[in-house]
Amino acid sequence: MLLTLFGVSFLVFAAFEIIPGDPAISKLGTDATPEMIAALREQMGLNRPFIVRYFDWLGDCIRGDFGRSYSYNRTVISMIGDKLPITVTMTIISMLLVIAVSIPVALLLAKYMGSTIDRAGYISNQILMAVPSFFLGILITYIFGLTLRFFTPGGYISYRQNFAGFIGYLLAPSVAIAIPKCAMSVKLLRSAILEEWNKDYVRTAYSRGNSTMQVMYRHVLKNALIPLITFWGMAVADMIAGSIVVEQVFNIPGLGRILLTSISNRDYPVVEAIILLIAVVVIVMNLIVDILYRCIDPRISK
């Protein structure tokens, strides 16, 4: 796990070494004289060898110091700490939506397998899966924001001002993020349920006098959720990364916003910290998935 983090940190650091662009130039602007640039590079420590800078930076990171932003006079920690709650809240709302919607829908489709409901569900699923979140975001803004006026597009409310309003505003982008994941979950869960449905224990459950819904909820669902856990774990990491675009559509000053501006400003400390953060989320989600597996599937030895 630490090895993964080490690898990611090295790749991120190396990537910005290779791609063109100089933070000193972007800070000073194109009018700067070569002397000014050289002086600033000296001051920023950019003219030391790559490996030295990398281990310097890594050592600071381990101590919890991610440096200061090149473009804003703030520490990286305080910048990310400000924005993180926004993206995390959005991801949590999306994930809750995915779970709360996909389970009953998949059960319904599985119950009416082969019927018109099932076929209609299949088609709408395929469509929703293929539509990217940002486009759904635009649609939602247009329909629910501009036409029906359920929320004010662009009227982001900070969580410091009004928490309920903040959640209310995040609802629309969360739905946009959740819909493709939800469609994917329904598809996976439906086929997992149908696969479980042919197992012998289903017949045993029927023989004890369970109704179809009781067999579904009491016996099949838990077994069918096992393959879904991996997908949901990946989905959470994906949502954090995917929120970057959706945040633009809904004008939300979250992690995505600072990531984009930092990349164009060559504000490396910020970009590196955010990418490391995403890597940590992926690794932590994998850990949580492993733990959940053990809880739900007793066959995995402890």
**For the purposes of burial, counting CB atoms within 10 Å of the CB of 123, is it exposed (0-12), middle (13-18) or buried (19 or more)?**
exposed
Buried b (16+ CB within 10 A) or exposed e, 42-70: eeeeeeeeeeebeeebeeebeeeebbbbb
Cα–Cα dist 65/280, whole Å = 16
Q: Quick one: 49 or 298, whose CB is closer to another protein?
A: 298
Q: Are 197 and 220 in contact (CB under 8 A)?
A: yes
Q: Which of 205, 258, 275, 278 binds another protein (CB under 8 A)?
A: 205
Q: Quick one: 147 or 207, whose CB is closer to another protein?
A: 207
In the complex, least distance from residue 213 CB atom to another protein, rounded to whole angstroms: 11
- Candidate ranges 11-19, 38-46, 198-206, 278-286; the one touching another protein (CB under 8 A): 198-206
Q: Quick one: 192 or 278, whose CB is closer to another protein?
A: 192
Q: Quick one: 161 or 301, whose CB is closer to another protein?
A: 301
- Candidate ranges 63-71, 173-181, 240-248, 293-301; the one touching another protein (CB under 8 A): 293-301
Q: Are 143 and 125 in contact (CB under 8 A)?
A: no
Q: Quick one: 12 or 202, whose CB is closer to another protein?
A: 202
Q: Which of 63, 149, 208, 302 binds another protein (CB under 8 A)?
A: 208
Q: Quick one: 4 or 212, whose CB is closer to another protein?
A: 212
- Candidate ranges 141-149, 152-160, 184-192, 193-201; the one touching another protein (CB under 8 A): 193-201
Q: Which of 211, 253, 264, 287 binds another protein (CB under 8 A)?
A: 211
Q: Which of 18, 63, 64, 200 binds another protein (CB under 8 A)?
A: 200
Interface residues for another protein in 215-274 (CB under 8 A)?
A: 218-219, 222-223, 226
Task: Please tell me whether residue 78 binds another protein under the rule CB under 8 A.
Answer: no
Task: Please tell me whether residue 298 binds another protein under the rule CB under 8 A.
Answer: yes
Cα–Cα dist 149/145, whole Å = 5
In the complex, least distance from residue 297 CB atom to another protein, rounded to whole angstroms: 6
**Site for another protein, rule CB under 8 A:** 199-201, 203-211, 214, 218-219, 222-223, 226, 296-299
